Amino acid sequence: MVTIPLILLSLLCISAIVPDCKNGKIVFDSTSPKPWYPANFSVPGPVFPANFNCEFQIKVPQGWYARVELSLISPDNSQSSAVIFDQLDRSETVFFADPEYFYFIANGGRIQFSTDSNETNFGFQIFWHEYQNSTLSVGRVNASDTVPLIRIPDDDGSMLISAETKPWLLFQDYEITKNIKSFQGEHCNNRNLCGSITLDATNGPAALQIYNKDGVDVISDLSGSGQLEVYIGTASQNKTNLVATYHAGETSSSLPQKVFGYFKTFLLTDGNATITFDDTYTREEMYGSVGSTGFISSDNYGTYNASNPPQLNSYDEFIGTSMPANFGDRGLWSKGMLIRYEVEKSSNCIFMFLSFVFVLIVNFDC
């Protein structure tokens, strides 16, 4: 009479396994003979008992990275989890993975696994990879730069970066960015449109930086409050590449406006404003009504010396209904081009009244 309940109790006890976790911690490195847990793990993994806890340390040597295939399946409303810690001790909590890959670089990280129910499946396998030798290119950023050093994700090889003071994320010198309180970055093009983006400069200047390999963005509206500065390149200290300044809500005659250049910075110095980009304009054409003002610029405008601006400022008139503007550098390094214009009406003709802040085609340095 006593034997039967004991047998039933034994069956209940083996319904969930208790894998080995000595001292609550297991260490893996690239020499581990069995880089998985539990032994001979396969998806979805074995069932763990309730209140199970174990930490898995994953050590990664320099020149290597570890790819972890992790599976975690638990009942609805379960709090069983795996907390993933990277080399800087930043964490991500995972409640479900069927399976998912997690990557660890030198010097590694850890996984903290815990259960609150006895129906949780868990396990992982580690794959070790050594970085391949690649070409190393060298780049440098300086406080006087007007164009950042841009690294495209699909570029081949590695890059060594040095800075005049301290580098900041997008390979801009820290001196250029230290007074800007917040940054947003967008990679826009004809397939990934910018849309509308809000900048909040109530606690200090806020910057939006756009990389567009198509080379042109069209500002169609600026609503809200505050002053917006537009730079082709970075928000430079000497402002040589500043092409426009707008005040939110006061742009009826100055927008829409095309801004050329592969990299641009829109700096809101105060207030809270929303910039709307219109991606329906073509690169070749844009029309302005009578009374509208604006500018035409080349992609690389702003590299001339602000203390010695060109002595080409002048006025000219072009009578007609349209005016083409072309800029070519004849394959030579140039200092760029900027034309500020106003559309006026005289008699029965509409013409372009051009106030040249004109770093013209003839302004070449070789």
pLDDT of res. 166: 54
**Lowest-pLDDT choice from 14-18, 55-59, 222-226, 264-268:** 14-18
**How buried is residue 235: exposed, middle or buried, by Cβ count under 10 Å (0-12/13-18/19+)?**
buried
- Which of 17, 216, 187, 32 minimizes the C-alpha distance to 118? 17
> Which two structure tokens, joined as six digits, stand for 15?
């319904």
Q: What angle do CA 365, 235, 149 make, to 5 degrees?
A: 65
What does the DSSP 8-state code read for residue 364? B
Q: Is 100 within 8 Å of 70 (Cβ atoms)?
A: yes
Q: What single string gives the DSSP state of each residue in 53-110? A: EEEEEEEEEEEEEEEEEEEEE--TT---EEEEE-TT--EEEES-EEEEEEEEEEEEEE
pLDDT of res. 102: 94
**Lowest-pLDDT choice from 102-116, 162-176, 210-224, 225-239:** 162-176
pLDDT (mean) for 56-63: 93
**Lowest-pLDDT choice from 184-193, 225-234, 239-248, 353-362:** 353-362
pLDDT 10s digits, 129-143: 988 765 556 677 777
Q: What angle do CA 205, 229, 208 make, to 5 degrees?
A: 60
Residue 104 or 34, more confident: 104
pLDDT (mean) for 98-107: 91
Neighbours of 205 (CB within 10 A): 20
Out of 130, 149, 184, pick the residue that ends a domain: 130
pLDDT 10s digits, 331-345: 665 667 777 877 776
Out of 98, 130, 162, pick the residue that ends a domain: 130
pLDDT of res. 66: 94
- Which of 72, 54, 70 minimizes the C-alpha distance to 103? 70
pLDDT of res. 191: 74
Binned at pLDDT 50, 70 and 90, residue 168 comes out as: low
Asked whether the predicted pLDDT for residue 314 surpasses 60, the reply is: no
Residue 185 or 6, more confident: 185
Give domain status of residue 80, yes or no: yes
The listed range with the strongest mean pLDDT (46-50, 175-179, 245-249) is 245-249
Give domain status of residue 256, yes or no: no
pLDDT (mean) for 192-211: 90
CB-based contacts of 61, cutoff 8 Å, min separation 6: 29, 30, 106, 107
Binned at pLDDT 50, 70 and 90, residue 316 comes out as: low
- Per-chain mean pLDDT for the chain: 77
Q: Is 142 within 8 Å of 149 (Cβ atoms)?
A: no
Asked whether the predicted pLDDT for residue 77 surpasses 80, the reply is: yes
Asked whether the predicted pLDDT for residue 198 surpasses 90, the reply is: yes
Give domain status of residue 75, yes or no: yes
pLDDT (mean) for 44-58: 91
Residue 304 or 278, more confident: 278
What CATH number did the domain enclosing 122 receive? 2.60.120.290
**Lowest-pLDDT choice from 6-20, 195-209, 247-261:** 6-20
Asked whether the predicted pLDDT for residue 303 surpasses 90, the reply is: no
Give domain status of residue 23, yes or no: yes
Number of domains in the chain: 2
Out of 130, 149, 181, pick the residue that ends a domain: 130
pLDDT of res. 301: 79
Give domain status of residue 207, yes or no: no
Give domain status of residue 101, yes or no: yes
Residue 311 or 62, more confident: 62
Give domain status of residue 308, yes or no: yes
Give domain status of residue 136, yes or no: no
Can you give the residue range of the structural domain that contains 312? 287-366
pLDDT of res. 222: 95
**Lowest-pLDDT choice from 2-16, 80-94, 256-270:** 2-16
Binned at pLDDT 50, 70 and 90, residue 299 comes out as: confident
pLDDT (mean) for 312-316: 56
Asked whether the predicted pLDDT for residue 352 surpasses 50, the reply is: no
